[in-house]
Amino acid sequence: MTIVVGHPPHKDDRSALQLAATLARSAGQDLRVVTVVPPAWPTPVAGGPDREFARWSREQGEAATAQAQQALAELCADLRSEVVTVAASSVAATLIEQAEQHDGAMVVVGSASHGAWGSVVVGSTADRLLHSSPVPVAVATRGHRAEAATRVRRATCAFRGDAASRAVLVRTARICREVGASLRVATFGVRGRTMYPPEVLGEQQVMEAYVARTSADQERAVAELGDLAPADVRTAVATGATWTEALEQLDWDRGDVLVVGSSAAGLVSRLFLGSDATRIVRHSPVPVIVVPRGA
């Protein structure tokens, strides 16, 4: 199978390429690097500005292709890869189309150019993918870097305790076992008014009950994995006053990825992030993989 990675023109950013190389190397898959440039104008224009635009678009594609080929040679010469340029109006739709046409296992994109370094910053392309892709979507943190020959070392599965997140856990465990990565099952919670019913006064007691119940749910889900479970499986419940604080309660290392399942509100076999999943993605300090229902 193939990992499709979006490589935009005009940007000297290798974060998506580096994450894609890590994922492809871990899973034994090929890379297909796609640069999307604006299409030519549909009708000729007096004075030839349409020809100038077509030339400019072609040059942008050629420059991005050369840049990607150089990056691949430096970062992942050990992998089979291909670089293509596609003229199209929608980057997200093109990446999905490329995945469907080339046996794509996943689409990988980088973060937007604004926002904090080391965090997932969801731009317009990633946002569209996260709400419409039929295959998993990985988003690199801004400025993501990976050493040569890096593989995924640990996957943290965001666990809600429902049937959808249990299905994502099964898939994550299977992949961890195949690539030799460890698995962490984590539930994140934000302390606030929504966590406590109005009649409850003892927040500490409620928090302790929440952690105990969630930990028990995690242990049952891990036990249900049976032989699918990798050798190293751990569980964690992380809470905080904010989503950032909750995610910071866990340790995060190089080679980590966070796996999140899409909301049950989405169409079957399409991504659609619910509010909590969206917040987790946007506050993650490591690359995120979002898995559609039924994938």
CB within 8 A of 147, min separation 6: which ones?
254
Residue 274 has a pLDDT of: 54
Residue 145 has a pLDDT of: 93
Q: Residue 76: which H helix or E strand, with range?
A: none
Greater model confidence, 251 or 44: 251
Residue 267 has a pLDDT of: 42
Share of the chain above pLDDT 70, in %: 87
pTM, two decimal places: 0.89
Residue 197 has a pLDDT of: 55
Model confidence band, residue 200 (pLDDT cutoffs 50, 70, 90): low
Structural class in CATH, domain 154-291: alpha beta
* Mean pLDDT, all residues of the chain: 87
- 5-46 pLDDT per residue, tens: 999 987 788 999 999 999 999 999 999 999 999 887 666 555
Quote the CA–CA distance of 291 and 259 in Å, as a whole number: 7
Domain boundaries, given as residue ranges, for the chain: 2-139, 154-291
Q: Give the burial class of 143: count Cβ atoms within 10 A of its Cβ; 0-12 exposed, 13-18 middle, 19 or more buried.
A: middle
* pLDDT beyond 90 at 192: no
Structural class in CATH, domain 2-139: alpha beta
- 114-139 pLDDT per residue, tens: 888 999 999 999 999 988 899 999 99
Asked if residues 106 and 133 have their Cβ atoms less than 8 Å apart, the reply is no
Fold match, 2-139 / 154-291: yes
